[in-house]
Amino acid sequence: MRLTHTGPAPKNRNDIKTIKSILPYIWQFKGRVLLALACLVTAKIASVILPIYLKEVVDTLSLPATRIILPVAALLGYGFARLASSVFGELRDALFARVTQGSIRRIAAKLFEHLFALSMRFHMQRQTGGLSRDIERGTKGIGFLLNFTIFNVLPTLLEISMVTAILLWRYDFWFAVVTLGTIAAYIVFTLLVTERRMVYRRSMNELDSKANSRAIDALINYETVKYFGNEGYELDRYDRNLGKWVDSAVKNQVSLNFLNMGQGAIITVGITLLLWLSARGVVNKTMSVGDVVLVSAYLTQLYAPLNFLGFVYREIKHALADMERMFSLLDQGQEVADRPNAQTLDTPQASITFDHVDFGYEAKRQILFDVSFTIPAGKTLAVVGSSGAGKSTLSRLLFRFYDVGAGAIKINDVDTRDLSQASLRRHIGIVPQDTVLFNDSILYNIAYGNPGASQDDIIGAAKAASIHDFVMSLPDGYETQVGERGLKLSGGEKQRVAIARTLLKNPPILIFDEATSALDTRTERAIQKELDQIARNRTTLIIAHRLSTIANADEIIVLDHGRVIERGSHQSLLQESGRYAQMWRLQQAGHALS
């Protein structure tokens, strides 16, 4: 299954599904949610009562001077209602803060966990910059959706209902008709225009992710850009994407201005009609000045959040669009998953068997054909062959980054598909050809092999990998920062860090995936001695390019276009005068010339 993060957003968006996706996370805080809703209702009732007390105050003070009395009860009621509205509003926010942040934390943690559970195929196809931007926008969208849906949309709908009921109860039904008619016209207009505007927002998101992906990709490959002098090319490519983003952003802003103008016109018409009805009531002596104040207060109180409701609706739609892309990651199925009753591997010694294995990364392009071999526990097997023969694929299958197409891979005669992935990978250590380190300290990168290891264990592993003396010669010692992908260290230094990291893990199975092919001869020989030392008494798979590094292997197999064409010891293969012997002669001739 292929997922990219620069392609078009889904055409058939399902906002209800997106909202349902976050409900389980919110309901984990149901106690706080219910208390916050109770505070919300209480605060809104208090705010709706406020204009009624204000009307009583105005009507009392509007009496002739000889009859004026201080409206103590109305003033106290007004003050209490205002205080209650404020206090319960703040309590609502305080109670719901942990709900919002806690939900975001749990969703982000689950997404992070899910991304690591996805197959190597997904991660080979993804673009890091676009993916990180989608996650960032999605988590921000969750916070916005929760806060504004519960604290703006629901209170506004509740307030509209209560105000309409009061207007029907106290005044002519035309007050309620005008109020509801204005609200209905406002909402319909907002919905229609906002839906048309969403195409610009989606386009902005896609172009933003694309530009960000290309920028990060160029920065990660900084050296390559500088080698070929392509700074201008990368800038031009980035700027063209930003230009398209600007076009979408301008269209988005113009459509927003049109929406705001239409909303303003609808509200103005509604307010004017209600004030006209109020003024006519005063002239006809069916309403008092206090009634006009009450209606005006409700207008201000009602249309202010209603005006804001337009903005909230637009932003909620934007948030849902952002969340949709993030939640689509959680919908990605696991290509490689543990079986329900997967066994836990726990053994100090392990044999490896490839039993008639077929595999292809794509259905139309098979890589391995009927590959069979066995590595007895504590023995070493080396795999050689030309580039593209399928050598590195063996290590990926052993780690179970992919499942085989046919046949089986077994550890101690148990199919790896019957083992839990976590326990399988705990038993395997690898020193890869291209060692990539975290942008952290040397100590952190060595300790990554066993995060719970003690300082003494880490130093012991560094000494065994012959890197301790080098580290101690640095000004910051083990706290030396290695830079992005370990670029501050040389190839040999990175390899030694990788060896120390693997030693600290102390696995019964080792894989050396062309671990010294990128090194000079002197460094290779030094590291090769360390590799031979740590491979003793461990089941070892060596994927090699330089045949001199695997002459002592217990068995060597030769792969050609995914098939095993030769197998045996170094001496027996030389005596056969086949492909291995030919490769050996060519490499020895190359060494002689150098």
Q: Residue 100: its pLDDT value, please?
A: 82
Per DSSP, the three-state class of 21 is helix
pLDDT reading at 329 higher than 80: no
193, 240: one domain: yes
- Burial code (b: 16+ CB inside 10 Å, e: under 16) for 574-588 equals beeeebbeebbeeee
Residue 435, H or E segment: none
Q: How confident is the model at residue 8 (pLDDT cuts 50, 70, 90)?
A: very low
We report the CATH number of the domain holding residue 515 as 3.40.50.300
Average pLDDT over residues 32-57: 84
Of 129 and 185, more confident: 185
Average pLDDT over residues 342-362: 90
Query: What are 152's two structure tokens?
Result: 């703006």
pLDDT reading at 9 higher than 80: no
Q: How confident is the model at residue 116 (pLDDT cuts 50, 70, 90)?
A: confident
467, 577: one domain: no
Give residue-wise pLDDT tens across range 444-462: 999 988 888 898 999 988 8
User: Is the distance from CB of 555 to CB of 379 less than 8 angstroms?
Assistant: yes
Tell me phi and psi for residue 403, to 5 degrees: -100, 145
Average pLDDT over residues 361-367: 83
**Inside any domain, residue 1:** no
Looking at mean pLDDT, say which of 197-201, 223-227, 262-266, 305-309 comes out highest. 262-266
Average pLDDT over residues 206-219: 78
Ramachandran area for residue 378 (φ above 0: left; ψ -120 to 50: alpha; else beta) = left
Q: What is the pTM of this model?
A: 0.63
- Structural domain of 113: 15-330
Q: Residue 354: its pLDDT value, please?
A: 93
Give residue-wise pLDDT tens across range 126-154: 666 567 777 777 888 888 787 777 777 77
Average pLDDT over residues 497-522: 81
Is 132 exposed, middle or buried (CB count within 10 Å of its CB: 0-12, 13-18, 19+)?
A: middle
Rounded alpha-carbon distances, angstroms, from residue 240 to 4, 5, 235, 284: 20, 18, 9, 67
Distance between CA 458 and CA 449 in Å, rounded?
9
pLDDT reading at 66 higher than 60: no
Query: What are 329's two structure tokens?
Result: 């990651």
408, 535: one domain: yes
In the chain, pLDDT over 90 holds for what percent of residues? 12
pLDDT reading at 170 higher than 90: no
Is 472 exposed, middle or buried (CB count within 10 Å of its CB: 0-12, 13-18, 19+)?
A: exposed
Tally of CA atoms within 13 A in the half-sphere of 505 that contains its CB:
25
**Inside any domain, residue 6:** no
Q: What is the 3-state secondary structure (H, E, C) of 393-407?
A: HHHHHHCCCCCCCEE
Q: How confident is the model at residue 239 (pLDDT cuts 50, 70, 90)?
A: confident
Of 415 and 65, more confident: 415
Q: Residue 129: its pLDDT value, please?
A: 59
**Inside any domain, residue 336:** no
Region of poorest pLDDT, from 43-57, 320-334, 518-532:
518-532
463, 512: one domain: no
User: Is the distance from CB of 559 to CB of 385 less than 8 angstroms?
Assistant: yes
The per-residue DSSP string of 343-367 comes to: BPP--SS--EEEEEEEE-SBTTB--
315, 422: one domain: no
130, 235: one domain: yes
174, 136: one domain: yes
Maximum separation of any 2 CA atoms in the chain, in Å: 128
Q: How confident is the model at residue 593 (pLDDT cuts 50, 70, 90)?
A: very low
Q: How confident is the model at residue 308 (pLDDT cuts 50, 70, 90)?
A: low
Rounded alpha-carbon distances, angstroms, from residue 284 to 263, 275, 288, 529: 32, 14, 10, 106
487, 517: one domain: no
Query: What are 240's two structure tokens?
Result: 């063209």
Instruction: Report how many domains make up the chain.
Output: 3
- ∠ CA(345), CA(347), CA(352), 5° rounding? 80
DSSP designation for 10: P
Nearest residue to 94 (alpha-carbon basis) of 154, 22, 141, 32: 32
Q: How confident is the model at residue 330 (pLDDT cuts 50, 70, 90)?
A: confident
Residue 530, H or E segment: helix 521-535
User: Is the distance from CB of 501 to CB of 445 less than 8 angstroms?
Assistant: yes
**Inside any domain, residue 120:** yes
409, 531: one domain: yes
**Inside any domain, residue 10:** no
Q: Residue 558: its pLDDT value, please?
A: 92
Residue keyed to tokens 């399988």: 424
Q: Residue 14: its pLDDT value, please?
A: 66
Average pLDDT over residues 406-427: 91
**Inside any domain, residue 9:** no
90, 54: one domain: yes
295, 226: one domain: yes
- Burial code (b: 16+ CB inside 10 Å, e: under 16) for 394-405 equals bbebbbbbbebe
In this structure, the strands spanning 555-560 and 380-385 are parallel
Looking at mean pLDDT, say which of 214-228, 250-264, 411-425 comes out highest. 411-425
User: To the nearest whole number, what is the mean pLDDT of the chain?
Assistant: 80
Cα pseudo-dihedral 540, 544, 546, 552, rounded to 10:
20
**Inside any domain, residue 338:** no
We report the CATH number of the domain holding residue 204 as 1.20.1560.10
What is the end-to-end Cα distance of the chain in Å, rounded?
A: 47
512, 569: one domain: yes
Looking at mean pLDDT, say which of 226-240, 273-287, 435-449 comes out highest. 435-449
**Inside any domain, residue 530:** yes
